[in-house]
Structure 1
Amino acid sequence: MPRTTLAAAAALTLAGVAACGGNGGGTTGAGGGTALYERLPDAVKDAGVIRFAGDSHPPYRIVANDGKTVTGIDKELQDALAKVLGVRGEISIVNGLPAALSGMLASRYDAFNGPVKDTAEREKQFDAIVWMVSRTSYLVPKATSSAVKDSGDLCGKRIAGTAGSVVEEQAKRLSDWCTKQGRPALTFIGLADTNGTILAAKSGRADAAGMTESAAIDAMSKEKDAFTYVTQSDEQGAGIDQLAMLVPKSGGLGPVMLEAFKEIFKNGEYQRIVDKYGLQNVAVDEPKLNTAAAQ
């Protein structure tokens, strides 16, 4: 929806917030009721909403059958950020990472929360606020898991993963490791979202589904007897990837969003979400901006 069509409604909404004395969890100020509100780009203030793009990616974004209602880590994180910014958060479901990136560049969305890797190439067009790290895991159907005891056993296998995601890059590193060991390379099957990768593994189209460890644990919790998983090692090129929220540089929202992240670290909302969803192993001590360019 164009920003201009939202401006009048936003003005009424913000006036209501001010009248009720709500401060959104931040320091009281003009307009949206928080100190950070005044630093927001005018387009965001006029609309009164931060528009997030998001694909289906449990447990980060759990999309209901109506295709619109979203729960999970991202919903809670985005609501916490919107609160300290003094605006409303809104998630639009898109078909994978390419649609999220192109939509942001076309000004349809203000931000995308991934999990997506912070890279120097992406930082040419987007500000990247790093708020967690990750290692890639591979979800393996238990019916065939006897042949996959560790990630090295994935050599020569078909791996489904979200196209353009950090998993695709990780799978390539694992494949390179396989060939250096004199073993067959793996085949990567790029799909639109995590649900699609899990279905590919269940149906036999793929031998395993690559995803973040948090997503693998979530999938296993929903189908306890269906899967096991293995995690890629440092030797196989895993390392620890910096995962970020991406915000188009052209809009000027990135530095303000960094400050919003700092606020939810300070007020305890970040830690609450980390604890609720068991993200302790991938949490960071503080958010950072554009880490890839600094390396």
Structure 2
Amino acid sequence: MRLSRTILAGVAASALAGAAACGAGGGETPRPAGGTALYDALPDDIKDAGVIRFAGDSHPPYRIVANDGKTVTGIDKDLQDALGKVLGVRTEISIVNGLPAALSGMLASRYDAFNGPVKDSAEREKQFDALVWMVTRTSYLIPKAGSSSIKSAGDLCGKRVAGTSGSITEDQAKRLTEWCAKQGKPALEFIGFADTNGTILAAKSGRADAASVTESAALDVISKEKDAFTYVTQTDEQGAGIDQLAMLVPKSGGLGPVMFEAFKEIFKNGEYKKIMDKYGLQKVAVEEPKLNAAATQ
């Protein structure tokens, strides 16, 4: 389903107008105040199902998976609940084994979206609408019981660095390796894992000297395990920069533009700020969401 500019304009106007809510009984998700037009603009298959299906791997603090392997808490759950409320549908998360499984699952129509967080890129925007809702710098968790010689990201040259395979942090580690070579230092050894939990455990157990994670993940780990880790952050000189992180939605389904309007609404109603404040992520929050920002750069 493709949405015309006229429909999207109507979606935005109606959402901003704050139309009265349409309550729903019997345990159904109520249509939200100001969100009737958003619900009407959803693809028919989403309205028929009454749910938006998210793929998600284990990635604290975004997705904290309970021992049952199904119950999920964290930023994603809170964010998706907020988006579902303004869209008037339920959301659910299915746990998958890493980024490749999430991407292929969406393209096979098993899932409607993936919140990553993943780096927005022009290449990904060929198949997916990318909704940017935060930024990050790659950081490296350093076990306090490990090497005391790592005081900055530059000290990781020649060290073993664990990270999630195919993630933004793997790309950043490659850039850091290139910087190391320019300094005449040995390359770092990247060890890939399926998810963030595996990455952190590798550093804890001594299989790696550091764990590469997003800055938001580093902040979360430090807040929970202050005595276990310190962290260093990759610099612009070392190829890091500030990366835009996005939710990905397959272009073919037509959900992306409607989800973008829902993001605008949770920025406007304060839910976005409430979630970022709850998890201490003020440093990586953005002033407004963006849609397919990489293609326009």
Would you say same fold, with TM above 0.5?
A: yes
| 1:178-193 paired onto structure 2 within 5 Å | 178-193=180-195
CA contact (8 A) 2:31 2:85 kept: yes
Partner of 2:213: 211
Partner of 1:259: 261
CA contact (8 A) 2:29 2:85 kept: no
1:165-223 Cα distance to aligned partner (Å, 9 max, x none): 11011111111000000000111111100000011111111110000111112122222
What is the total number of aligned residue pairs between the two structures? 276
1:24-57 Cα distance to aligned partner (Å, 9 max, x none): 43326xxxxx220000001101000000000111
Q: Tell me the secondary structure at the aligned position of residue 159 of structure 1.
A: strand
CA contact (8 A) 1:73 1:277 kept: yes
Aligned equivalents of 2:93 and 2:135: distance in 1?
A: 22
CA contact (8 A) 1:160 1:197 kept: yes
Q: Tell me the secondary structure at the aligned position of residue 34 of structure 2.
A: coil
1:35-89 Cα distance to aligned partner (Å, 9 max, x none): 2000000110100000000011111111001000001111000000011000000
Partner of 1:25: 32
Aligned equivalents of 1:75 and 1:196: distance in 2?
A: 21
Higher deviation after alignment, 49-58 or 222-231: 222-231
Report the CA distance shift for 1:157/1:266 in structure 2 as closer, same or farther (over 3 A): same
Partner of 2:56: 54
Aligned equivalents of 2:296 and 2:255: distance in 1?
A: 20
Partner of 1:199: 201
Residue 268, structure 1, aligned to residue 267, structure 2: no
Higher deviation after alignment, 223-232 or 190-199: 223-232
Partner of 2:150: 148
Aligned equivalents of 2:246 and 2:272: distance in 1?
A: 14
Q: 1:22 offset after TM fit, Å? A: 7.2
TM-score by length of 1: 0.90
Q: 1:236 aligns with which of 222, 235, 238?
A: 238
Partner of 1:9: none
Aligned equivalents of 1:174 and 1:79: distance in 2?
A: 37
| 1:1-295 paired onto structure 2 within 5 Å | 17=24, 23-27=30-34, 34-295=36-297
* Structural RMSD (CA): 1.6
Amino acid in structure 1 at the alignment position of 2:107 = L
Identity %: 80
Aligned equivalents of 1:19 and 1:66: distance in 2?
A: 28
CA contact (8 A) 2:147 2:209 kept: no
Q: Tell me the secondary structure at the aligned position of residue 35 of structure 1.
A: helix
| Structure 1 residue runs without a partner (length 5+) | 1-14, 29-33
Aligned equivalents of 2:269 and 2:40: distance in 1?
A: 20
Q: 1:145 offset after TM fit, Å? A: 3.8
Q: Tell me the secondary structure at the aligned position of residue 245 of structure 2.
A: strand
Partner of 1:4: none
| Structure 2 residue runs without a partner (length 5+) | 1-21
CA contact (8 A) 1:131 1:286 kept: yes
Q: Tell me the secondary structure at the aligned position of residue 234 of structure 1.
A: coil
Aligned equivalents of 2:28 and 2:69: distance in 1?
A: 34
Q: 1:235 offset after TM fit, Å? A: 0.6
1:216-235 Cα distance to aligned partner (Å, 9 max, x none): 12122222211111000111
Amino acid in structure 2 at the alignment position of 1:93 = I
Amino acid in structure 2 at the alignment position of 1:248 = P
TM-score by length of 2: 0.90
Q: 1:21 offset after TM fit, Å? A: 10
Aligned equivalents of 1:59 and 1:190: distance in 2?
A: 20
CA contact (8 A) 1:145 1:228 kept: no
